[in-house]
Chains A and B, each alone.
Chain A
Amino acid sequence: MSDLLTVDNLTVRIDTSRGPITPVRDVSLRIPRGKMLGLVGESGSGKSVTAMTITRLLPRRNVHVTGGRIEFDGRDLTNLSDRSLRAVRGKEIATIFQEPMTALNPVLTIADQVTEPLRVHLGLSRRQAADRAAELLDMVGIRDTARVLRDYPHQLSGGMRQRVMIAMAMSCEPKLLIADEPTTALDVTTQLQILELVMDLQQKHGTSVLLITHDLGVVAQTCDEVTVMHNGQVQETAPVEQIFEAPQADYTKRLLSFLPSNRERSRTARPAEGPALLEVSDLVKVFPGRRRRGRRTEPVAAVDGVSFSVAPGRTLAIVGESGSGKSTTGRALLRLHEPTSGSVSFDGVDLMALPAEELRAMRARMQIVFQDTYASLDPRWTIERTLAEPLRLHTDLDAAGIRERLAEVMELVGLEAGHLERFPHEFSGGQRQRIGIARALLLNPSLVVCDEPVSALDVSVQAQVLELLKDLQDRLGLAYVFISHDLSVVRLIADEVLVMSRGKVVEHGTVDEVFAAPKHPYTKALLAAVPSPDPRARLDRAQRRELVEAGTKEAVA
């Protein structure tokens, strides 16, 4: 049987304010009927542009197909009229997007949105469409369908919204499903469930799937074939086992080498020695309830009795999913969020008892690095101005001294002194994270809280930043509190691991203990849910699903 979709030598031009760019050049790919193709690449590789071009979802004003054909089920989509293309969209080719948070219309009910394609393409009546919508939600594993249909998107969790998106996409039983990073914004356990769902539906309905992702683990667990893209061009297309076991293109090999699971720890975890630098005991942070439909909800204990200690020069990782309280813990121990109760002692000083003035002075020694450095840098200030500020506040260096220190720190994090005059938007994501680290290091801290420092970065950049953090720890004797949802990264950098769920610590141990012999079912679930970049490890899918279900149930209880 012929392929369902064939893209031949596709070239796309985008007109930007800085002149035209061609993010997709001569790209060819094919999806056989009923199969799943993974389109893999780092940010800027052109994978999303390629996928969005298939049904013309990019703004017509400035995006133009300048060459190539997109043949779908015997038709060339590139010269289809708008009207004919509308009959394809949602009916024959459906799309699900990365951000379930923003992909659903906030002012329309779920019922409104799920019934739309049914009414437009299948001509169902309002009543029929509503019944069918309930069936669809049931099919994607939503239990309380009547209530969910009446809800608005903001009343649902991220995982639920993505299920709704999938239900909507599958509503007209499309021949092709385009999934653009469908699980990137979700927790690992939710990711596993969503991917399972997509695969089940694919098998049941014989749908072809184009899965766009940057996560090689996800590809290994789901796809039949893989196309690797880099810089707008296809590097390699091969069956999934071959990509992982015998990659041909240099770029594929490089990409695989960056996988945390393919990298060894550069040193073994070390036990703590000497007195602790940071001691947290029984930390509690309660947020007051929010108003919901006029009524106040119960107060939320985001952090509920968390205790741990960190020795100088060591790394403690706090692991958990969204809402586990890991970030709040990081902020509460620095008193960025004032804790509700508990004690934090830093270098023998009780932080809770410290008056504001002395706390400010102490802050010089405890710094924080955020996930989104772009949001934490003032876009109108040069890097020099941003970085010089803490030096002016906390030290009595003169202008020359400040310049000297800035140059020193920039070199330390692998940037150049010349970069100081630039603005935040002139840097890449990895460089900005280096700037965030530089800012944290300026005042010679002994403790740095790293809140998801590499989560927003591509794997290649992620590897470099992790190396930098390790290197700095060795040279400067820093202690890290490393907050992350990504277990494979934690395995590379932590000495000790703390697993959190719903504000509580469920497991605490050395990195070897936690990874080799997890005790708590939730930890087991987290470990099982991480998509393994080994296509042959797919066989134990059922077992994996069981572990995750058991663990998440435990965590909720």
Chain B
Amino acid sequence: MNLVLRRVAAMVPALIGVVVCIFVLTRVLPGDPARTLAGDQADPSVVAKIRTDMGLDQPLHLQLVRYFTDLLHGNLGFAWHTGHSVASDFASRLPATVELALVALLIALLAGIPLGVISATRRDRPVDHAGRVFSLLGASMPLFWLGLMVIVVFYNKLGWAPAPLGRVAEGINPPTGITGLYLVDSLLTGDFVAFRSALSHIIWPALCLATGSTAIIARMTRSAMLEVIGQDYVRTAVSKGLKPSVVTLKHALRNAAPVIVTISGLQFGQLMGGAVITETVFTWPGIGSYVVQSVLATDYAPVQAFTLVAAVVYLAANLVVDLVNARLDPRIADA
């Protein structure tokens, strides 16, 4: 418990730093939101009026103070281009992104870890070479290209995938919002029609999103396992007459697990970022596609909020990693 409190406390300065960086970055970006909002033909006095309303005429440090106060009140600002508060836009869109990232992470773990373990235990055999080629391809394939290929092949040509528009098929009511994650909600309410539709919609973008992470998790698992397999205690396990599967999964994988957990935590952050591209390609109604629209509209507040949320997710993922690792390795808790 102590460990949790210490780690959470350590997140505070990091968050403050993130907020300041975001603020400064968005203010030095080119583009004038007041002018965009007013339109090209607007009268200069109208632009000035908008600027005053938005607080943009104030000195930077006062704007920063105001930004902080707003954040502490849970006010993420107003998204001019949608006409809603950023907070309400996020509330409706964040679950879609989180669901996508979680499903992608699940796929990456379920595929990456076995791939890495198999590669390591069959080092330099054909399986290992195939695994390494896949890792290389997976890690170097651009996400937008992969997404488009999946749509062309599996939707256009084969017709296996549903139209890449939204989280469920048209005409199906989304499940009642409990967690906001359609897969979870539809199961909770027993709505299996919605579940099937949601699953068939999320699986394709999630597969694309997971490809890069699967490759990286497989590579890291392989190298962590190779290192562990060479350790004395693995030889001890063999000398006891244990089956190879027990030696690999119980004795070796348990020791490689901290490395895998750490890389998975980092990958979750990556997946949130990768969602921006995937969501745009698959018109997934998450915060990734939302933030792209905001940038194009020079709308500061949603972009700031997105960056902040991404940072929080990233820090939280690393917190989870630390806590899981402390459970996995008794030496960390004692250190």
Seen from chain A, the residues whose Cβ lies within 8 Å of a Cβ on chain B are 55, 57, 61, 86-91, 94-95, 97, 99, 102-108, 116-117, 120-121, 152, 154-155, 165, 168, 290-294
- Which chain A positions have C-beta within 8 A of B254? 105, 107-108
B241 pairs with A90, CB closer than 8 A: yes
CA distance A165 to B235 in the complex (A): 13
A16 to B: closest C-beta gap in Å: 14
Q: What residues on A are CB-neighbors of B3 within 8 Å?
A: 294
Query: In the assembly, what is the distance between CA of A108 and CA of B251, in Å?
Result: 8
The one of B235, B240, B255 that contacts A107, using a Cβ cutoff of 8 Å: B255
Q: Given contacts A102-B233, A106-B331, list 11 more A-B pairs with CB under 8 A.
A: A57-B235, A57-B239, A86-B242, A87-B241, A107-B329, A116-B242, A120-B241, A291-B334, A291-B335, A292-B334, A293-B334
Interface of B is mostly: helix
- Chain A neighbourhood of B243, CB < 8 A: 86, 120
Residues of B within 8 A of A290 (CB): 335
Q: Which 4 A-B pairs have the closest CB atoms?
A: A90-B241, A89-B241, A90-B240, A102-B232
Chain A neighbourhood of B241, CB < 8 A = 86-91, 117, 120-121
B219 to chain A, nearest CB (A): 20
Does B123 sit within 8 A of A, measured CB to CB? yes
Contact with A along B176-201 (1 / 0, CB 8 A): 00000000000000000000000000
Q: A57-B235, A61-B124 are in contact. Are A105 and B240 (CB under 8 A)?
A: no
> Which of A89, A91, A95, A105 lies in contact with B233, CB distance below 8 A?
A105
Per-position 1/0 for B227-267, Cβ under 8 A of A: 00001110111111111000000110011000000000000
| Contacts A61-B124, A154-B330; A120 near B236 (Cβ below 8 A) | no
> Nearest Cβ in chain B — how far from A498, in angstroms?
33
Nearest-neighbor residue (CB-CB) of B230 within chain A: A59
Of residues 291 to 313 in B, which have CB atoms within 8 Å of A's CB atoms?
Answer: none
Contact among B231, B239, B328 for A94, CB-based, below 8 A: B239
Tell me which residues across on chain B come within 8 A of A99, comparing CB atoms.
Answer: 232
Min CB distance A491 to B, Å, is 33
Q: Report the minimal beta-carbon distance from B162 to chain A, rounded to whole angstroms.
A: 44
Q: From residue A89, how far is it (CB to closest CB) to chain B in Å? A: 4
Most buried by A among B231, B233, B250: B233
- Decide if B239 touches A106 in the complex (CB within 8 Å): no
C-alpha gap A400/B240 in the complex (Å): 60
> How many angstroms between the C-alpha atoms of A57 and B238 in the bound complex?
7
- In the bound complex, how far is the Cα of B35 from the Cα of A434, in angstroms? 77
Q: Residue A106 contacts which of B124, B233, B235 (CB distance < 8 angstroms)? A: B233
Compute how far the CA of A152 lies from the CA of B240 in the bound complex, rounded to whole angstroms.
Answer: 19
| Min distance, Cβ B105 to any Cβ of chain A, angstroms | 23
Residue B173 interfacial (CB < 8 Å): no
How many angstroms from the CA of A291 to the CA of B332 in the assembled complex?
11
A55 to B238, CA, bound (A): 9
CB contacts (< 8 Å) of B123 on chain A: these are: 61
Could you say which residues of chain B place their CB within 8 Å of the CB of A97? 232, 235-236
A89 to chain B: closest residue by CB: B241
Q: When the two chains form their complex, are residues A152 and B233 in contact, meaning their CB atoms are under 8 A apart?
A: no
Query: How distant is the Cα of A274 from the Cα of B239 in the complex, in angstroms?
Result: 60
Q: Name the residue of chain A whose CB is nearest to the CB of B250.
A: A108
Whether the Cβ atoms of A107 and B330 lie closer than 8 Å is yes
B238 contacts A152, C-beta separation under 8 Å: no
Q: Report yes or no: B255 in contact with A89, Cβ–Cβ below 8 A.
A: no
Q: What is the bound-complex CA distance between A99 and B235, given in angstroms?
A: 12
A126 to chain B, nearest CB (A): 15
Q: Are A55 and B334 in contact (CB under 8 A)?
A: no
Q: How far is the CA of A108 from the CA of B254 in the complex (A)?
A: 9
Q: Are B330 and A95 in contact (CB under 8 A)?
A: no
**Closest B residue to A117 using CB positions:** B240
Complex CA gap A295/B298 in Å reads 52
**B335: A residues at CB distance < 8 A:** 290-291
Cβ of B331 and Cβ of A95 under 8 Å apart?
Answer: no
- CB B239 to nearest CB in A, in angstroms, measures 4
Q: Are A152 and B331 in contact (CB under 8 A)?
A: yes
Given the known A-B contacts A104-B233, A105-B233, are A55 and B239 also in contact in the complex, defined by CB atoms under 8 Å?
yes
Residue of A nearest to B258 (CB): A107
> Which residues of chain B from 1 to 39 have any CB-CB distance to chain A below 8 Å in the complex?
2-3
Residue B333 CB within 8 A of the other chain: yes
Q: Please tell me which one of the listed residues B2, B255, B329, B331 contacts residue A294 in the complex, with CB atoms under 8 A apart.
A: B2
Chain B 316-335 near chain A by CB (<8 Å), digits 1 or 0? 00000000000011110111
A105's partner among B236, B239, B333 (CB-CB below 8 A) is B236
Q: How far is the CA of A120 from the CA of B237 in the complex (A)?
A: 12
In the complex, what residues of A have CB within 8 A of residue B232's CB?
Answer: 97, 99, 102-103
Chain B residue at minimum C-beta to C-beta distance from A171: B240
Residue of B nearest to A55 (CB): B239
Contact A105 B237 (CB under 8 A): yes
Give the residues in chain A near B233, CB-CB below 8 Å. Answer: 102-106
Partner of B239, one of A95, A107, A155, A293: A95
Q: Kindly list chain B residues whose C-beta atoms are within 8 Å of the C-beta of A57.
A: 235, 238-239
B333 cross-chain contacts in A, Cβ below 8 A: 293
Q: Which residues of B lie under 8 Å from residue A168 when comparing CB positions?
A: 240
CB–CB B242/A104 < 8 A: no
A107 pairs with B328, CB closer than 8 A: yes
Chain B contacts for A61, CB-based, 8 A = 123-124
> Which single residue of chain A is at the shortest CB-CB distance from B240?
A90
